[in-house]
């Protein structure tokens, strides 16, 4: 009987989820400083880059959120929740779609998914971009506490409005400002904004996101030269095609 069942086992992650560390509740809770947030962003980007570009076969996670990023005792991020993941096959160019296709949490879903019902690497980039916005703003994907009462949109829409009005600095968590990291934080925010652009072709690849974040954190000891990932450039079809569902 036991051979019919599969279990996915994780090591204990004492710091819980990234979501719970960003959106803290209760008096006396510890607020993460900027270097720690930057470290988590860079290390998580490296993990997703490996899935998209170096893993064989390559994988689309399809359920990226701050809840799927677990933190160990040293706040090292670990990617979890692969229940909706899909394989990318660079040879087969046929789109695998389904009327029963499932996508991730509200607030993280790329806008093109509702139209195409197709999971793509750029959809993952969008979702990760929302996570990056959470890291720099401390706002939730579907509710923005700092927005005016008349605002009924989500985090990405709020960021878009601020960008259009040249008020993007207003999005930054005030607890992070004025502590010597302002330039890094704004660069980080700009990378996040590029990830959540409405047109998927305008977004960077996950590898490009990792490289941009890595450059921002170059004065820290978050990465070494050996951490540069090798990108598999073998392509015979559209890299945004998805052909097989992973059952986790």
CATH number for the domain spanning 141: value is 1.10.510.10
Q: What percent of the chain has pLDDT over 70?
A: 80
Structural domain includes residue 1: no
Question: Would you say 42 and 217 are in contact if contact means Cβ atoms under 8 Å apart?
Answer: yes
Give the Å distances, CA to CA, from 121 to 40, 47, 69, 125, 228.
Answer: 21, 14, 18, 6, 20
Which pLDDT does position 232 carry in this prediction? 57
Q: Which of 80-89, 93-102, 177-186 holds the top average pLDDT?
A: 177-186
Rounded CA separation 119/113 (Å): 7
The residue with tokens 């880059």 is 49
Average pLDDT over residues 215-227: 79
Which pLDDT does position 32 carry in this prediction? 94
Structural domain includes residue 4: no
Non-local CB neighbours of 14 within 8 Å, separated by 6+ positions: 71, 72, 73
Which pLDDT does position 234 carry in this prediction? 45
Query: Residue 28: which pLDDT band, with cuts at 50, 70 and 90?
Result: low
Query: Residue 231: which pLDDT band, with cuts at 50, 70 and 90?
Result: low
Structural domain includes residue 53: yes
Q: What percent of the chain has pLDDT over 90?
A: 65
Query: What residue ranges in 130-216 does DSSP mark as E strands?
Result: none
Write down the pTM of the prediction.
Answer: 0.85
- Provide the b/e sequence for 228-242 (b: ≥16 CB within 10 Å): ebeeeeeeeeeebbb
Residue 68 has pLDDT above 80, yes or no: yes
Q: Torsions phi, psi of 135, nearest 5?
A: -60, -35
Query: Residue 4: which pLDDT band, with cuts at 50, 70 and 90?
Result: confident
Residue 110 has pLDDT above 80, yes or no: yes
Owning domain of residue 104: 12-245
Structural domain includes residue 6: no
Question: Would you say 68 and 100 are in contact if contact means Cβ atoms under 8 Å apart?
Answer: no
Structural domain includes residue 237: yes
Structural domain includes residue 143: yes
Give the Å distances, CA to CA, from 1 to 6, 18, 58, 179, 248.
Answer: 11, 36, 32, 58, 18
Q: How many domains does the chain have?
A: 1
Query: Residue 88: which pLDDT band, with cuts at 50, 70 and 90?
Result: confident
Average pLDDT over residues 83-112: 66
């Amino acid at each position: 009987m036991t051979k019919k069942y599969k279990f996915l086992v994780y090591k204990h992650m004492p710091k819980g989820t990234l979501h719970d560390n960003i959106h803290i509740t209760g008096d006396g809770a510890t607020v993460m400083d900027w270097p720690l947030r930057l470290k988590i962003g860079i290390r998580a980007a490296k993990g997703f880059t490996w899935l998209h570009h170096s893993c064989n076969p390559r994988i689309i996670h399809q359920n990226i959120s701050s809840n799927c990023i677990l933190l160990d005792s040293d706040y090292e991020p670990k990617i979890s929740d692969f229940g909706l993941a899909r394989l990318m096959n660079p040879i087969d160019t046929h789109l695998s779609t389904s009327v029963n296709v499932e996508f991730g949490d509200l607030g993280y879903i790329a806008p093109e998914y509702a139209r195409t019902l197709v999971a793509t690497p750029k959809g993952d980039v969008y979702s990760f971009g929302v996570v990056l916005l959470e890291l720099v703003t401390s706002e939730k994907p579907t509710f923005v506490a700092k927005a005016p009462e008349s605002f009924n949109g989500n985090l990405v829409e709020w960021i878009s409005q601020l960008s259009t009005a040249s008020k993007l600095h207003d999005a930054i968590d005030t607890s992070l400002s004025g502590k010597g990291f302002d330039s890094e934080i704004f660069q980080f925010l700009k990378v996040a904004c590029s990830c959540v652009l409405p047109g998927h072709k305008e977004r960077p690849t996950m590898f490009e996101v990792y490289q941009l974040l890595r450059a921002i954190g170059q004065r820290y000891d978050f990465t070494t030269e050996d951490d540069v990932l090798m990108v598999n450039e073998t392509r015979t079809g559209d890299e945004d095609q998805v052909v097989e569902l992973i059952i986790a």
